Structure 1
Amino acid sequence: MSRSKLIVFTLLVAVLGWSFLPTDLTKASQWKEPVQRDSQQKVGESVIKKREFQFADNDKYWMRQITAEENGQPHRFTIPINQNYATFRYRDLTEDNQPYWKVINLRDVSELPVTPGFIESPGTYLWIGEPVVYKELGRGTIETLPEEVLPIEVSQTPNGLQLEVRLPQVENSVSEIWALESREPIVHWADQSTELAWLRLDLTRNAKWLYNGYYYKSPTTYDPTAENGFWRIPENYVAASLLQMDGSEAADKMAYVMLRTSLEQQEQEGYWKTLPRSEWLWEDYGIEEGFYDTRFNTGAALQMLRGCIQYDDERFCESARRYADFFHDYARDNHYVVEGERPGWLVADYTGPNEHADTHVSLNHQLAELNFLYRFYSRFGREIDRELADLMLTGVVNLGEKWVRENGDLHYAYFPDGSFDRPDYPYLTYNDLLETQELYQELYGAEEATIARLLESKRNWMIRNNVSNR
């Protein structure tokens, strides 16, 4: 079959979405948009914000935030359990830092551990976040103040167990908490795969879910940073996991809330800024804070595309479309031409709000970008997206074996002077290559030979070094 006929044939299927589309179409047909309610109240020198999403089945997501200009008494509110028995299941770590579920009886404690977890009692089920107190450091960065946190209190009343949340009012700081409430079990723990999927989610040690987005542990190379610093990252790793949990209504609801929040952070031009300054990008290329990172942005846009399909929500579709349009313009203005039988493009990883030196092209960034374009093409059928993806894939293919290091691993990046340097990630790029090959084969009906060779070389290196592609 000719390449052109393959394109026409695969479009009949691919334009509807990628491999998990049947499940997503079912979800989209059943999904009903929740009602969002936001409110704000000034109490003394503090501002209390409340956000709620009321779902069609009466489940509710809520969040409270209090911003204090001066010290004051804690803001308190209660959560009735109305049963005499309830458990709290939370993610704990073994001595060698392996996660496991720990379950405690609420009748045996007066306070909950300061960590996200699941309250479970007949008729009352909550996925509740940890109380967080932090101060703003600027540039989308916070520093948590664990010493100021007040644990959730547990008490017995004539009507049953009750939780009391206490959000401290600490001068020039913010206190927050969130929860998803339901009358039905939020997670079916008897399913081992489901249990393990939820166990992988980290919203306490390395990441925080806050009123205005998803925050990740700040690298020491970012400015500002702190020992307990977290920065608002465009790509939400927890949302990405939740979107893949087939059959979990709680995952669907929380992912929806997270995507709606991410919409608020998308720039008018269509991308999401990295607000802190990266010291190494500043030193190597002169890039200032508020820069564009292709990998984080492509991950964020892919989540919007996934939400577009899963929820049939035009806001998510438009968000993904705006990013795709932005990326077309960016790629046109920030690429290196790689000559070959057909010229290809390598698109620079970063740009900033200021004039700066040309940046390198990481193989994993390049692959993630073209994978997104292929997926966007599969959903919407825009030829310009497939054409740019093909052009970028050709850029990778034209360099061929030059990507391979002497030890069989791959080079991390191509640099403006035509050189290759830096060790690659242990398995990230392998997974990207694997996805590229799968998408290419779905679209054109055959493997891409150079990608197959790069996969083989990387896989053999991983085997020799006991690296798994988890």
Structure 2
Amino acid sequence: MHAKAETVNQRFSDVSNEYWAKDEVTQLVEEGIINGYQDLQYRPGVSIKRGQAANLLTAALQLPEAPYQPIFKDVSAKSSHLRGAMSTYQAGIFRGKPDGNFGVSDELTREQMASVLVNAFKLKDTGEKVHFTDEKSISESHRYGVKVLMQHGITTGKEDGSFAPKLSVNRGSFAVFLHRAMIQAGMLEKKQPIVFNKTQTMGKFEPIRFEQFITEVPLTQEGQTYLRSNHFLSLSAKRVKTHAHATDHIYVYGVSGRKSTKVTVTKRELPNGDYFTFVELRNPDRLPIRVDLVRIDGGIQTNTIERFDKFPMKKDVDDTFGFDIATSPVGVLETISQQGTGQQMISKTYRSRELELKYRNGAVSRTRELQDEKETYSNILMGDNRVSVYELNSRGYDVVDQWYLSSNKKLFSSKERLDSWLRESITNYKKRNKWYTAEGPYNKMATTIEPMPASGRGYGRNLLLVKEDRVMLLYNQTKERYYEDILHNSFTNLAVFRGSKPYWETEVTSTYLTHLYNFTAPFVDTRFNEQIALFLYNGGKAFNHKDYNEGLRNYANLLVQQHRKGNVNFLSPTAYYIPDYFPAKSQVKTHTSMNHLLGGMNILLLAFQEFNDPVYLENASAIEKAIRFEEKKWTRSNGDIWYKRAPNGQFSGTDYVHLTLEDLIYSYEKWSQIDQSKAKVFERMIKSKAGYLNSTKKGYTTKIKEGLKRINMSNLLPAGKEYTDAL
């Protein structure tokens, strides 16, 4: 009659129903005699060290604590093997080595194990004859131990009749030998066989079967987070960086034997209690290295994921941006636990190479070459314990990034809202951030930037995408937690990017501008600064930020300074254009494009309304006057608007399809509130631009539709489809 197997939850990801020693390992762990590792692996195939064996036997036999004695050169008073070494030496189990060392880090061989177990359990020679095919290979000092261990059936040798005395004992085998010895000695009661409940895995979860160094990262109180690698990692710096709307807890780890290789874990705490985790493996050395971020969570009831790739992505090659190899994050992991329902947005890993081009004037342009994007997240659910692994693999001379956003609540209140975001992100993949870092998101850059790698995979921090305009609109419409979190992160990324300056300078050189005006990064792009100022202004109002108008004032002041510096193109003393770009390292006037011009004027009008300083209205009026003077020159014969006006007064270029009409509507609104007479030129230009779009059936954006409705000009809505993003 067979004993009924006991059904239990699997304790270790690498000790499953298929593992031959699962019963012995499980019972010894339950008895507190042997332990697994912090990442919930047992690693049965890892060779056991003499020091580890000494500690295990001390626990198994409950040996009395022995005082420290300077007997062994490799066992100090602070050694983690002190108790095991002293207690087993005093009990006559381990005798040390001829060279004066205990050999705590030496692998325990099978013949040494035999002698140790015979000594530990005081096993006697039964007189039974024992034979191994490799008897002559057994050391003289261990032949007695091997023979007695065989006589007692604790070892049976190898299938081929050998004992393999010099072979190392692994953790699985040692557990079996120790278990058998303890059963024979009556120190353990033989239990029924066990069967593990079925586990659930997600992604390509694969336990690491060799020794690892594991160090805890104090990210949360609910679960444990570790860094794991085959290289020793040590905390080299810990700091807290407080931003206006988030707090970064930064942990920097050095890698043993690698002077410059570092792992940085940044936890960005948001005002609502959610947090981003950014992990960066920076490896300027040629040798590859793998580092895993491992998270252990308990009390898990269900574990499901909604993947981005359930909606197919259709990519194309853009003449401006080339081909973007980045796709989307992995998806949203939903966890139901004892604490409730939480969600986590999980990214892929991004392996890149930093590029830098230095110029004679001391300026620098920085980009990255994205070498590959991979899905490396995986987890295993064993009972109610979940092990999540975020894998970072460096091939050398690269940087590897990974991020996730965690909330103990739902990021999306419904599946429909979540699907809507997944679908939109896939459809508009060029304008939706996916590769986030603690310094901001990286996106495919235009092919007209430098340094541009030969692969064409040039990525950088595009200020227009650091701010999250579309997310702001969706947050105002839905108040979804995910959008709230992304906005908090965006506010912080903008602060990080700006640094100590009151405005934003680009960090990437545009060869288009270099060829036109011979200047490089850094430079101020007026459109970028205008849109960031508006984003922070509107976002600050939505979240009740005290500094909501700081960016607005700073940028309006910067525009006013250009007039005072003479960095404008005058039509008359009271009518002038502000150039699109302000180079930091050279004095040159650039062209003025209509969308930049309107954006700057609109900022000055908003600043006048906000701060009631007449200098803002004075400069806005000068821009309106210049546009009015040259209205007919700006308007093309087909009703469209020229893209730009050169400093010499020449008009050229094809205007954006929708963007300028959005700006014209806003300009009309602002002047209507301040001085109705100055709104008329923009009314005429709205009619001209909208008429052109209507005749060409190029459609409209949601902003255009809503804007025309606000100014009672819905009859001008162009024919064609509606777009969420301006073309």
SS at match of 2:686: helix
In 2, Cα distance between the equivalents of 1:229 and 1:271?
25
**Which residue of the partner structure matches residue 223 of structure 1?**
450
In 2, Cα distance between the equivalents of 1:315 and 1:38?
25
TM-score normalised over the length of structure 1 = 0.81
Q: What stretches of structure 1 of length at least 5 have no aligned partner?
A: 1-31, 99-112
Q: Does the 8 Å contact 1:38/1:52 carry over to 2?
A: yes
In 1, Cα distance between the equivalents of 2:378 and 2:692?
52
**Which residue of the partner structure matches residue 349 of structure 2?**
131
Report how far residue 86 of structure 1 moved: 0.9
In 2, Cα distance between the equivalents of 1:238 and 1:199?
21
Report how far residue 312 of structure 1 moved: 3.6
Instruction: Single out whichever of 86-95 and 152-161 deviates more from structure 2.
Output: 86-95
In 1, Cα distance between the equivalents of 2:525 and 2:430?
24
Whether 1:424 aligns to 2:647 is no
SS at match of 1:448: helix
Report how far residue 273 of structure 1 moved: 1.8
Residue from 393, 405, 410 that aligns with 1:180: 405
Q: Does the 8 Å contact 2:532/2:551 carry over to 1?
A: no
Instruction: Single out whichever of 449-458 and 54-63 deviates more from structure 2.
Output: 54-63
Report how far residue 412 of structure 1 moved: 0.6
Question: Given residue 171 of structure 1, which amino acid in structure 2 is its aligned partner?
Answer: G
Report how far residue 336 of structure 1 moved: 1.4
Q: Does the 8 Å contact 2:351/2:394 carry over to 1?
A: no
Q: 1:33 to 1:350 in 2, by over 3 A?
A: closer
Residue from 51, 71, 80 that aligns with 2:266: 51
Equivalent runs, 1:40-439 vs 2, <5 Å: 40-44=252-256, 45=258, 46-55=261-270, 57-70=272-285, 71-78=288-295, 80=297, 82-90=300-308, 94=312, 115-122=329-336, 123-138=341-356, 139-146=365-372, 149=374, 151-159=376-384, 162-189=387-414, 196=420, 199-201=423-425, 207=433, 208-226=435-453, 227-236=456-465, 239-244=468-473, 245-246=475-476, 247-266=479-498, 268-314=500-546, 317-332=549-564, 333-339=566-572, 343-355=574-586, 357-439=588-670
Q: Does the 8 Å contact 1:201/1:238 carry over to 2?
A: no
Q: 1:409 to 1:344 in 2, by over 3 A?
A: same
Paired residue total: 421
In 1, Cα distance between the equivalents of 2:309 and 2:670?
35
Q: What stretches of structure 2 of length at least 5 have no aligned partner?
A: 1-243, 317-326, 357-364, 702-727
Question: Given residue 255 of structure 1, which amino acid in structure 2 is its aligned partner?
Answer: L
Report how far residue 421 of structure 1 moved: 0.8
SS at match of 2:656: coil
Q: 1:325 to 1:395 in 2, by over 3 A?
A: same
Instruction: Single out whichever of 215-224 and 58-67 deviates more from structure 2.
Output: 58-67
Write out per-residue CA displacement over residues 424-464 of structure 1, whole angstroms, 9 at most, x where no aligned residue.
Answer: 11111111111111222233457711111111111111112
Report how far residue 347 of structure 1 moved: 0.6
SS at match of 1:84: strand
In 1, Cα distance between the equivalents of 2:351 and 2:462?
19
Question: Given residue 380 of structure 2, which amino acid in structure 1 is its aligned partner?
Answer: S
Q: Does the 8 Å contact 1:155/1:163 carry over to 2?
A: yes
Q: Does the 8 Å contact 1:130/1:204 carry over to 2?
A: no
In 2, Cα distance between the equivalents of 1:469 and 1:237?
24
Question: Given residue 50 of structure 1, which amino acid in structure 2 is its aligned partner?
Answer: V
Q: Does the 8 Å contact 1:188/1:195 carry over to 2?
A: no
Whether 1:454 aligns to 2:685 is yes
SS at match of 2:630: helix
SS at match of 2:413: coil
SS at match of 1:371: helix
Q: Does the 8 Å contact 1:213/1:232 carry over to 2?
A: yes
Report how far residue 191 of structure 1 moved: 5.9
Instruction: Single out whichever of 405-414 and 64-73 deviates more from structure 2.
Output: 64-73
Q: 1:277 to 1:77 in 2, by over 3 A?
A: same
In 2, Cα distance between the equivalents of 1:116 and 1:296?
30
**Which residue of the partner structure matches residue 720 of structure 2?**
none
Q: 1:55 to 1:421 in 2, by over 3 A?
A: closer
In 1, Cα distance between the equivalents of 2:577 and 2:675?
22
Write out per-residue CA displacement over residues 42-68 of structure 1, whole angstroms, 9 at most, x where no aligned residue.
Answer: 233322222223345432222221212
SS at match of 1:330: helix
Q: Does the 8 Å contact 2:284/2:398 carry over to 1?
A: yes
In 2, Cα distance between the equivalents of 1:35 and 1:354?
33
Q: 1:252 to 1:445 in 2, by over 3 A?
A: farther
Q: 1:79 to 1:167 in 2, by over 3 A?
A: farther
Residue from 450, 460, 466 that aligns with 2:697: 466
SS at match of 2:442: strand
SS at match of 2:516: helix
Residue identity (%): 19
SS at match of 1:176: strand
Instruction: Single out whichever of 71-80 and 119-128 deviates more from structure 2.
Output: 71-80
Q: 1:385 to 1:52 in 2, by over 3 A?
A: farther
Q: 1:443 to 1:188 in 2, by over 3 A?
A: farther
Instruction: Single out whichever of 305-314 and 165-174 deviates more from structure 2.
Output: 305-314
Question: Given residue 372 of structure 2, which amino acid in structure 1 is its aligned partner?
Answer: P
In 2, Cα distance between the equivalents of 1:442 and 1:190?
42
Question: Given residue 283 of structure 2, which amino acid in structure 1 is its aligned partner?
Answer: A
In 2, Cα distance between the equivalents of 1:442 and 1:118?
44
SS at match of 2:586: coil
Report how far residue 179 of structure 1 moved: 2.0
Question: Given residue 509 of structure 2, which amino acid in structure 1 is its aligned partner?
Answer: R
SS at match of 2:633: helix
Q: Does the 8 Å contact 1:72/1:168 carry over to 2?
A: yes
In 2, Cα distance between the equivalents of 1:328 and 1:447?
20
In 1, Cα distance between the equivalents of 2:407 and 2:384?
19
SS at match of 1:49: strand
SS at match of 1:236: helix
Instruction: Single out whichever of 426-435 and 251-260 deviates more from structure 2.
Output: 251-260
Report how far residue 78 of structure 1 moved: 2.7
Instruction: Single out whichever of 129-138 and 79-88 deviates more from structure 2.
Output: 79-88
Q: Does the 8 Å contact 1:114/1:151 carry over to 2?
A: no
Question: Given residue 53 of structure 1, which amino acid in structure 2 is its aligned partner?
Answer: R
